[in-house]
Amino acid sequence: MMNKLILGRYIPGDSFIHNLDPRAKLVASFYFIAIIFLCNNFASFGLMFAFTLFAILLSKISVRFFIKGVKPLIWLILFTVILQVLFSQGGEVYFKWGIFTISEWGLKNGAYIFIRFVLIIFMSTLLTLTTPPLSLADAIEYLLRPLKAIKFPAHEISLMLSIALRFVPTLMDETEKIMNAQRARGVDFGEGNLMQKMKAIVPLLIPLFVSSFNRAEDLAIAMEARGYQGGEGRTKYRVLHWEKNDTFVVIGFAILTGLLIWLRG
């Protein structure tokens, strides 16, 4: 189940993109998603496409991975595109049948949405493929810091995030173990109709929850014994370094935005 999902995986490597500051990457990805909505003609989309391709080349990761990232979402994308094509009106009408119309604008909108989707997925896949989850958590913590002014629990959120990330493999192992233990006692996972399938999940879910509670309690005690008293007065072992390349990314995005506004016409 998990090896199909490319989104959220990290591929270690040594490239321009890999070595960027995670803060730069995170902000850049969000910014990219925001400015993609500025595109309104083929020239601007072409520019964004070229930019994404350039970024992928810089990451030295095979394009196959990005296409794999799109695959699980392809039906959602096609569904949206088809709705756009069939229901948008305007421009020259090519085909009409009842409430369905295929028009010039509809086709255009459909194509735009398709490109937008694909580019957004490519960019977010690029982010997760080149950034270890931990660095992402660090970046999120850093970026949330200003929100402390409005009493937003930035430290707590980031601690929860990093503990959650650290326990993902542990809990996956545990799930596997419980599943096998229940299978050994005759539980069939993934067999029968929907109702039966759901019922089979119960002997997996409840032990998993209970053991998570126990883990949480043990962890809290261990943390307290090691002097954890909350975010106040803590120093940090990990630090993020902003380097020249990160500044280049910012400049690159500024140029991209300028070109985009010019091409919008």
* Residues at the contact surface with other proteins, assessed by CB under 8 A: 133-134, 137, 162-163, 165-166, 169-170, 173, 214-215, 218-219, 221-229, 233-239
Q: Give me the least distance between CB of 235 and other proteins, in Å please.
A: 5
Of the pair 238, 264, the CB lying nearest other proteins is at: 238
Q: Give me the least distance between CB of 77 and other proteins, in Å please.
A: 34
Residue labelled with tokens 């096998």: 180
Q: Give me the least distance between CB of 90 and other proteins, in Å please.
A: 52
Helix (H) or strand (E) holding 94, with range, is strand 93-97
Of the pair 222, 255, the CB lying nearest other proteins is at: 222
Task: Supply the DSSP string of 100-141, one letter for each residue.
Answer: EEEEHHHHHHHHHHHHHHHHHHHHHHHHHHHS-HHHHHHHHH
Of the pair 92, 232, the CB lying nearest other proteins is at: 232
Q: Give me the least distance between CB of 55 and other proteins, in Å please.
A: 26
163 CA to centre of own chain: 19
Of the pair 214, 245, the CB lying nearest other proteins is at: 214
Vertex 132, ends 139 and 238: CA angle to 5°? 50
Of the pair 109, 162, the CB lying nearest other proteins is at: 162
CA dihedral 139, 142, 148, 153 (to 10 degrees): 40
Q: Closest by alpha carbon to 253, among 117, 65, 123, 121?
A: 123
- The 8-class DSSP code of residue 40 comes to -
DSSP SS3 for 97: strand
Task: Supply the DSSP string of 217-258, one letter for each residue.
Answer: HHHHHHHHHTT---STT---S------HHHHHHHHHHHHHHH
Of the pair 163, 205, the CB lying nearest other proteins is at: 163
Q: Give me the least distance between CB of 226 and other proteins, in Å please.
A: 4
Q: Give me the least distance between CB of 224 and other proteins, in Å please.
A: 6
